[in-house]
Amino acid sequence: MKLKSLLLRYYPPGIMLEYEKSGELKTKSIDLLDLSPSTDVSALLEEIQRAEPLITASRSHQVKLLIQRLQDKLRQHSDHKFELFKVLRAHILPLTNVALNKSGSCFITGSYDRTCKVWDTESGGELLTLDGHRNVVYAIAFNNPYGDKIATGSFDKTCKLWSVETGKCYHTFRGHTAEIVCLSFNPQSTLVATGSMDTMAKLWDIQNGEEVFTLTGHAAEIISLSFNTSGDRIITGSFDHTAVVWDTVTGRKVCNLIGHCAEISSALFNWDCSMILTGSMDKTCMLWDATSGKCMATLTGHDDEILDCCFDYTGKLIATASADGTARVFSAATRKCITKLEGHEGEISKISFNPQGNRILTGSSDKTARIWDAQTGQCLQVLRGHTDEIFSCAFNYKGNIIITGSKDNTCRIWH
C-alpha cells in the first residue's frame, strides 16, 4: 500500500487518505471528532501514527499541519452577524423546500408552481428553471458533496434527475402510486431514494434510471428518509408510528424501531452510523442503537409535537424543535437536556447546527429565523423580514451563509 495524498475535511473534522493498493486508488478517512482548540497535537499525532500504518514518519509533519489548520478553523467561533443580502421573489406560487449545494455557491427552490429553480447565491440570480413535473415539486436535493445533479420529487408521483450545469432531465423515475414527499441521494451518489404517501420507499439507479429495490413494510405514509454516512443503510420514518432500517445492498429490512405512539416526523443516523434519532408527534425523540435497533433513551420535555430534530456533525449533541415554540439541546452521551432555546412566538418547524457545531439555526411560524448559542441557549440573532411563516432554513458548509424560505413566496439570502 502506498499513500498518494492527504486531504483535509473540515466538517466533521478529519483527514482523508488517498492510497494505492494493488494498482487501485482507494480512500479512507481518519475521523477527528474529539478535536478541540486545546487538543495536544503532538500526542494526537502519535496516536494516529500508532493506529494508521499509512502515516509514516516522513508524512508526520504534513499531518501535524493539517490538524493545526483544523484547530484554527474550530477557533473561529462565529461571532459573525448575519445581514440580509437579497430577497428573491422566487416563484408565483408558494415554495415547498430550499436546499444548498455543499459549497453554498448555488441553491434550489421547489414550488407549487410545478418547477424547481436553481439560484446563484453570490448574485441572487436565477440560473435555471427545471420544468417538467405535472404537479407540486415537493422534495428536492443536490447530490452533495458532488453537487452536479439535482433530484426532484413531486405530487405527480414521479422523481426526476437533472443536470445542474445544463438543466437537462436525465431520468424520470416512475413507479410510485401516490405523492413523493421525501428523497435523498446516497453519499456515493449512485442511488436516489424516494419516500411516498403510497407507504413505500424506492431506490433508483442514477446511471441507468432503473428501479433497484422497493422497500415495503410500512402500514402508512413514509414522510422521512435518510442514508447513513457509509450508504449501506437507509432509515424510513412513517405515519404508522415506526421507523425501519433497511440494507441498501440487499433491499432487506434490518430492524423495526417500535416505541413511538404517534407519527414519526424525522429519522436520521449520526455521523459514525452508531445511533439513530427519531422525532415524533408524540412530543418525544428517541435515540436508538443503529445495529440492534434497541431504544437507548427517550428524550422528553416538550409540550407539543416534535417537528424536526438533528445531530451536530460529530454526533455529540442533539437538537429538537417543537410545535410548543421551543427548541432543546441534549447530550447524546448523557441523554440529558443541556439547554432550552426560548424566544420564538410560534411553532419551530426546522432546526440545524452550523458545521462547527457551536450555533443552531431555527425557523418558525412567527416569521423569523433565529441563531442560538448551542451551549448556553442564548439567542444571538433574530432574522426578521419575512411576512409569513418560515418553513425552511439552512447553513452552507462553511456556516457563513443562511438561506430562509417562507410561505410569503420569497427566499432570503443572509451573509
∠ CA 173-277-406, nearest 5°, is: 60
Model confidence pLDDT, tens digit, residues 131-150: 999 999 999 999 998 999 99
Residue with cell 405527480: 156
pLDDT digits (tens, 9 = 90+) for 99-143: 999 889 999 999 999 999 999 999 999 999 999 999 999 999 999
Q: Which of 71-80, 296-305, 351-360 has the highest mean pLDDT?
A: 296-305
Tell me the C-alpha distance between 151 and 369, whole Å: 26
What percentage of the chain has pLDDT greater than the value 90?
Answer: 85
Enclosing H/E stretch for 62: helix 60-75
| Per-residue pLDDT, 79 | 72
* Residue 42 burial by Cβ neighbours in a 10 Å radius (0-12, 13-18, 19+): exposed
| Amino acid sitting at position 230 | S
**Residue 10, amino acid:** Y
Residue 77 has pLDDT above 60, yes or no: no
Q: List beta partners, residue 123.
A: none
Count, residues in the chain = 415
Which of 6, 56, 3, 8 is CA-nearest to residue 25?
3
Average pLDDT over residues 10-17: 86
**Which amino acid appears at position 24 of this protein?**
E
Q: Report d(CA 101, CA 413) in Å as an integer.
A: 14
Residue pointed to by grid coordinates 492510497 = 19
Cβ proximity of 317 and 358 under 8 Å = no
Number of neighbours of residue 57 by Cβ within 10 angstroms: 7
Query: Would you list the DSSP string of 308-368?
Result: EEEE-TTSSEEEEEETTS-EEEEETTT--EEEEE---SS-EEEEEE-TTSSEEEEEETTS-
Task: Spell out the domains of the chain, with CATH numbers in brackets.
Answer: 2-75 (no CATH), 84-414 (2.130.10.10)
Please answer whether residues 113 and 155 qualify as being in contact, where contact means their C-beta atoms are separated by less than 8 angstroms: no
Q: Is the peptide bond before 187 cis (omega within 30 degrees of 0)?
A: no
In angstroms, rounded to a whole number, what is the distance separating the alpha carbons of residues 328 and 313?
17
Please give the mean pLDDT across all residues of the chain.
Answer: 95
The residue-averaged pLDDT of 299-325 equals 97
Cα–Cα distance for residue pair 283/117, rounded to 1 Å: 35
Distance CA 195, CA 243 (A): 12
CA separation for the pair 275, 261 (Å, rounded) = 20
Q: What is the pLDDT of residue 97?
A: 93
Q: In this structure, what C-alpha cell is assigned to residue 18? A: 488517498
The string of pLDDT tens digits covering residues 52-62 is 999 999 999 99
- Residue 145: is the preceding peptide bond cis (ω within 30°)? yes
CA distance 316 to 153: 32
Beta bridge partners, 152, equal 140, 160
How far is Cα of residue 93 from the mean position of the Cα atoms in its chain? 26
- Kindly state the helix (H) or strand (E) to which residue 128 belongs, with its residue range: strand 126-131
